[in-house]
Chains A and B, each alone.
Chain A
Amino acid sequence: AQRVTQPEKLLSVFKGAPVELKCNYSYSGSPELFWYVQYSRQRLQLLLRHISRESIKGFTADLNKGETSFHLKKPFAQEEDSAMYYCALHPAGDYASGGSYIPTFGRGTSLIVHP
């Protein structure tokens, strides 16, 4: 079974400080990892996915298969980064052999950036 763990419910930092939102996963196959973000009064939306290897709004995330992690990082946090962040695992290709293709979400981390 696949599992996504976000150990921090709440992360509070000051503007300009580095931020790292942790995500660990458990999956026997080859996963696709995503970060979704939900700003206040906005819908949940994709922030970035590991396969794209891009930086979005200054955020980056590297898939570490050895440590089964996909931590989200930003060197200098901004107040507008305050939001709820969800890590998600999309199983890749298992559906062909009868496995699940349904994504699994972590419980989310609330990031608060203080001025």
Chain B
Amino acid sequence: DGGITQSPKYLFRKEGQNVTLSCEQNLNHDAMYWYRQDPGQGLRLIYYSQIVNDFQKGDIAEGYSVSREKKESFPLTVTSAQKNPTAFYLCASSKGLAESTDTQYFGPGTRLTVL
């Protein structure tokens, strides 16, 4: 069950700590995305990246940061500035800008709980 992986599956954090969620894909996709999934709110876009060394803010970027140093990797850092970080985080990838309407492939998700 490869393709796109996320780790860890569960993550616990104390208030005031930064934490980094991993996302890796071996699909050779250019575009990668981070979503936050909360009950009743669907998927909300945090950040996305079209290509290596480039990324853009989504709808709810405040309190989060990302990097895209490698095509395969798009880690998300949840900083202490994020007011309500407890959520389920989904990473996704797609072929890229040239295929803007292509299917998104999702990882299994990371459930972050702030204690």
Residues of A near any B CB (own CB < 8 A): 6, 9, 32, 34, 36, 43-46, 49, 51, 86, 88, 90-93, 95, 101-103, 105-108
Chain A proximity of B57: nearest CB distance (Å): 11
Instruction: Let me know if A92 and B101 touch, CB within 8 A.
Output: yes
Residues on B with C-beta less than 8 A from A32 are 101
Chain A proximity of B101: nearest CB distance (Å): 4
Task: Give the nearest-CB partner of A4 in chain B.
Answer: B42
Task: Give the nearest-CB partner of B108 in chain A.
Answer: A43
Given contacts A32-B101, A51-B101, A86-B42, list 5 more A-B pairs with CB under 8 A.
A9-B40, A43-B109, A45-B105, A86-B43, A102-B58
Instruction: Let me know if B42 and A106 touch, CB within 8 A.
Output: yes
Q: Which of the residues B33, B58, B101, B107 comes within 8 Å of A90, measured between beta carbons?
A: B101
Chain B proximity of A112: nearest CB distance (Å): 15
Residues on A with C-beta less than 8 A from B80 are none
Q: Which of the residues A86, A95, A105 comes within 8 Å of B100, measured between beta carbons?
A: A95
